[in-house]
Amino acid sequence: MRILITGGAGFLGSHLCDRLIAQGHDVIVLDNLFTGRKENISHLFSNPRFEFVRHDVIDPFKFEVDQIYNLACPASPPHYQYNPIKTTKTSVMGAINCLGLAKRLKARVFQASTSEVYGDPEVHPQREDYWGHVNPIGKRSCYDEGKRCAETLFFDYHRENKVDIRVIRIFNTYGPRMLPNDGRVVSNFIVQAIKGEDITVYGDGQQTRSFCYVDDLVEGFIRFMNQNEFVGPLNCGNPGEFTMLELAETVLKLVGGRSKIVHKELPSDDPKQRQPDITLAKKYLDGWTPQVPLEVGLERTIAYFRTQVG
């Protein structure tokens, strides 16, 4: 197949490129390189099955493809809060442009949504039928509500225009090619430990997250895109739950050094709990479950960051 990946030079997108090209597909990456990096995909430039186009998903585009993966959007708080209006436009107008193309081509289109659509959840773990507890006017709202609106658009195009959609909700994912400065907890802790700086834990450190290694997530993407039973939304992540303090201590143990754990004030609208219910993923993705244990994935991620952080 010919497959378009918007945001394909980013952390997740570049790993998806590797997998799809290894499977024999032709891949076109569309990316404006705001948070994506050419280094993530440079090893593919000489591959005849690969094409890179520098373009902003907000602006219309045309390609002849069989499938579209819409991954375009900054996904870490410092990056999506840097230009919040642009973040909302990327989610909403990017979705409209991908859906319009899919409608014209009769192509299947995939939306990378997020666990942030659940906000600071009052239900734990989070199931796909939970509508969420989201602040619509906070600093994180540009991302949370942008992704919620994108989901709305996908399902309206599906109902009104019979567009063949797949909507996935991604929970915390980590691995090589994360940006060292992306402000996410795994990269923050690893970079601070490698540099010998204090490891910053916000609040009391008892808030929880569930961490999925990137290879497991990409496997879920491809299985979801290529099954015909369910359009979504579908949670994709690792249900193993860890407190921020446990994660900090694990990173310290693996990196070594003399970093200390220090506590700072909790940011506004920071969710206290985040854990996916992956019952539907197991059902529709041929028994898919994450395979990479946290310590194994962290070791691989730490090895990558040692090449990035001086």
112 — pLDDT class (breaks 50, 70, 90): very high
* Domain ranges (residues) in the chain: 2-177+212-239+275-291
Closest by CA position to 302, among listed 231, 247, 233: 247
Backbone angles phi, psi at 264, to 5 degrees: -130, 170
Annotated catalytic residue 118:
no
Average pLDDT over residues 8-37: 97
CATH architecture of the region 2-177+212-239+275-291: 3-Layer(aba) Sandwich (3.40)
235 has a pLDDT exceeding 80: yes
pLDDT digits (tens, 9 = 90+) for 187-200: 999 999 999 999 99
269 has a pLDDT exceeding 70: no
27 has a pLDDT exceeding 80: yes
Which pair of tokens denotes residue 44? 């593919």
Res 70: pLDDT: 98
Specify the residue for token string 């909403």.
92
pLDDT digits (tens, 9 = 90+) for 141-172: 999 999 999 999 999 999 999 999 999 999 99
Helices 185-194/294-308 angle, 10° precision: 60
Instruction: Using DSSP, state whether 69 is helix, strand or coil.
Output: strand
310 — pLDDT class (breaks 50, 70, 90): low
Res 118: pLDDT: 94
Res 65: pLDDT: 98
Position with higher pLDDT, 15 vs 265: 15
Mean pLDDT of the chain: 95
Which pair of tokens denotes residue 255? 């990196």
Contacts of 281 (CB under 8 A, 6+ apart): 220, 224, 234, 235, 236, 288, 289
Annotated active-site residue in 80, 118, 143, 174? 143
Which pair of tokens denotes residue 233? 């939304």
pLDDT digits (tens, 9 = 90+) for 86-104: 999 999 999 999 999 999 9
268 has a pLDDT exceeding 80: no
Percent of the chain past pLDDT 90, that is, above it, reads: 86
Contacts of 28 (CB under 8 A, 6+ apart): 2, 3, 4, 5, 8, 51, 52, 53, 63, 65
What is d(CA 117, CA 236) in angstroms, rounded to the nearest whole number? 13
Res 280: pLDDT: 98
Backbone angles phi, psi at 147, to 5 degrees: -70, -35
Which pair of tokens denotes residue 36? 């994506």
Percent of the chain past pLDDT 70, that is, above it, reads: 99
Position with higher pLDDT, 195 vs 270: 195
Which one of 80-84, 273-277, 287-291 scores highest in mean pLDDT?
287-291
Other C-beta atoms closer than 10 Å to the C-beta of 183 total: 13
